[in-house]
Amino acid sequence: MSDYFSHARREIAPHLPAKIDQFLDVGCGNGTTSAFIRHLHPEVRWAGGVELFAEAAEKARSVLDEVWCGDLEATPFETEIAPASLDAILCLDVLEHLVDPWTVVKRLSPLLAEDGRLIISIPNIRNWKFIRKLFFNGDFHYRDAGLLDRTHLRFFVRETAIELAEAGGLKVAYSGNAHPWKALDMRNILSHISGHGLDDLMIKQFVIVATPKQIG
């Protein structure tokens, strides 16, 4: 668990808004990813986080201006954040652990500024390795980490991950591979040969970016 908390999610950098004044890191761990964002965006005026584990939350307080510690689904953090005030909300490998992630997204969505971004990363249950083990071996055994992490309560493919991101009235602007393949990676070659038709079988983790719907 400590390794997970100490790992900055640098792959989200291309999906962040050009300017960030305020952001919320849901499932912030010890604040490593938030510290990375503050390094990229020194203009940040306020940053908050929500974290289940007390030890990690305490460490995150050295990076974040406000940290709510406790069960995300039972913590009314949104009552202390002004509507339409956040430029970015991060939900990185968080929503699949919740009983009702759709309601959490509905709570988060009104907090986004007009040009804000909800950035979600979520495992892809359609990955071919999982399908192979399930189909040929009947393997649906939970593990300490990975797609079948024993704390995962919900499972998603691209379509349902998009539906989740849009549950609060936002519109998905991007969905794709959270960890893009290098040019000579066989998965990248197969992706191009298939016209991206095999992508959803090879992607392990999606990144979904959703924004408020533009009016007019």
3-state helix, strand, coil in the chain (%, to 5): 35, 25, 40
* In a domain? residue 62: yes
* Alpha helices, DSSP H, located in the chain: 2-5, 32-40, 54-60, 101-108, 128-137, 158-165, 186-193, 199-202
Q: Where are the beta strands (DSSP E) in the chain?
A: 22-26, 46-51, 66-69, 86-92, 112-123, 170-177, 205-212
Q: How many distinct structural domains can be found in the chain?
A: 1
pLDDT at 148: 87
| Tens-place pLDDT, residues 47-96 | 999 999 999 999 999 999 999 999 999 999 999 999 999 999 999 999 99
197 within domain boundaries:
no
**Does 142 fall in a domain?**
no
Q: What is the mean pLDDT of the chain?
A: 94
Inside any domain, residue 190: no
pLDDT of residue 6: 65
Separation between Cα atoms, residue 157 and residue 131, nearest integer Å: 12
| Confidence label for 7 from pLDDT (cuts 50, 70 and 90) | confident
| CATH number of the domain bearing residue 22 | 3.40.50.150
What's the pLDDT score for residue 1?
A: 43
Looking at residue 48, its amino acid is: G
Cβ-contact 204, 176 below 8 angstroms:
no
Which residues are bridge partners to 88 per DSSP?
A: 23, 117
Which residue segment(s) compose the domain that 63 sits in? Answer: 2-124+152-181+202-212
Distance CA 161, CA 157 (A): 6
How does DSSP classify residue 58? H
What pLDDT does residue 160 have? Answer: 98
In a domain, 17, yes or no: yes
Is residue 73, in this structure, part of any structural domain at all?
A: yes
Q: Examine residue 145 and state whether it is found in any structural domain, yes or no.
A: no
Q: Using one digit for the tens of pLDDT, what is the confidence trace for 173-209?
A: 999 999 999 999 999 999 999 999 999 999 999 999 9
Phi, psi angle pair for 210, to nearest 5°: -125, 145
Does the residue 95 lie in any domain? yes
**149 contact partners, CB below 8 Å, separation of at least 6:** 142, 143
